[in-house]
Every structure is written in C-alpha cells, then in structure tokens.
Amino acid sequence: MSRRRIEIALVDDHRMFLDGLTEVINSLDPAYLCTAFASPREAIATIEQGREYDLIVSDLVMEEMNGVAFILALQARRCTAPVLIVSGIDTLPPVEKVLRLGALGFVPKSAPAGMLGEAIRAALQGEIFLPPDLWTVVEDNPKSPRKVAGGPETGLDEELLGPRQIEVLRLMAEGYSNKRISEVLGISENTVKTHIKQIFRRLNVARRTACVSKARAVGLLD
C-alpha cells in the first residue's frame, strides 16, 4: 500500500533558494510533495480557495510580508497547518516571537539537510524543533516561550496556543472525541490529532484528563 502524500507549502521570496529548498525537501522523503510560492500572498490565495497543507515552511524576512505577519494572516483564515520557519536570521527575539505565535520550529538557512528533515518530522508530529544552540539560549531566558509553557511562576501563557488550539482544548474539556471535534470545527481528524499533540506538549501532559485539569489550573479553561 502506498503512503499518503504529505503536502508541504514552501514560501520564500528568493527564487533560487526556494528552488533549492524544494529539491532538498523532496529528496528527504518520497511522501513529501512540495508546492513552492515566491510570495506569502500566493500561498494565502490558495488557502482561501480551500487548499489544505500538512505543513507550511516559510522564510522570516520577506519583502511583501514578513513571517510574523504571514503567520497572523494564516491564523486569521483559520489555517491549522503547522508552520516551520527557515531563515537566515537566528537571533533570539524573532525566534521567540514566532514560537509565541504558534510556529512549531525554527531552522537556520545554514543548517544541514538532516536538521531540516528532523524539524519537518517534529512539526508534522506537532512538536517544537529548535537547533541545540538555540534551545540553550531559549532555556536560559526566563521569558522564553518554553519557560512560560512549563514555568512554575507563570504557568501557561494563552498566547502559546493559537485560536484553533484553544477551540480544540475547549471541546476536549466537553468530552468530544477527535472525530466529533473535526466535524464541529470543519477540519480533518488528522489535523485534530496534531493540535492535541501540540497542546499536550505545551502543557507537558500525556493524557486528556491531565490536559483538561492543567488547563483549568492555569486559567485556560473556566
């Protein structure tokens, strides 16, 4: 039986890099099917037309629309695909900002293909990926997303869960199954599973009951 194709949207306004990135990702796994966009608006237009992606890989600095604005535009259109940022800028503030907005990882453009492959696999599983050196910096910053997510002083910052994750969390608290959540929100069951994995990771729990209890404890649920 053939594997399901994994649809990946690539967004970068440097055509040469975009072509190379497409070739690299396609070579990582025969199941990956990349669609390249030279501008964020082109990608947004296909989403508005109903196109769904399993993953969106985007540059951070683009002339037409930067990565932060792009993530916000995706959220405004209720796009639930996980976002992975690949950029030549790897300083802490922009990395933290995209993580707070819900991006599932950051990979420097100087990284080897193997690291990119690892980041893609993590994002598809709803897990956050950062290079080891950036993890160290993020862990040492008391205001970093990872610290906020698990820190005893602040609990969980609601910003770390996107609007759709909050919707999924609330339906989970009402006892809805994955299938029922997908029907209510109009998204695929696989997308629901990805959101739940992401919520579990950010709340540092492994079960639904623990997830709901912790969400109530930190004020995400009434």
**For 59-113, how does the pLDDT look when each residue is reduced to its tens digit (9 = 90+)?**
998 988 898 899 999 988 888 888 999 988 766 667 778 887 888 889 999 889 9
Q: Where are the beta strands (DSSP E) in 164-217?
A: none
DSSP state of 207: S
- Residues contacting residue 57 through CB under 8 Å, at least 6 positions apart: 8, 9, 10, 11, 21, 25, 83, 84, 85, 86, 120
CATH dotted code for 6-141: 3.40.50.2300
The CATH number of the structural domain formed by 147-217 is: 1.10.10.10
Torsion (CA) 157, 195, 215, 97 in degrees, nearest 10:
0
Percent of the chain with pLDDT over 70: 84
Enumerate the β-bridge partners of residue 86.
Answer: 107
Q: How far apart (Å, rounded) are the C-alpha atoms in residues 146 and 156?
A: 9
Domain boundaries of the chain, sorted by first residue? 6-141, 147-217
Cα–Cα distance for residue pair 117/195, rounded to 1 Å? 21
- Predicted TM-score (pTM) of the model is 0.65
Q: Do the domains at 6-141 and 147-217 have one common CATH topology?
A: no
pLDDT at residue 39 above 70?
A: yes
What pLDDT digit, counting tens, does each position of 135-159 carry? Answer: 655 555 544 444 333 333 334 444 5
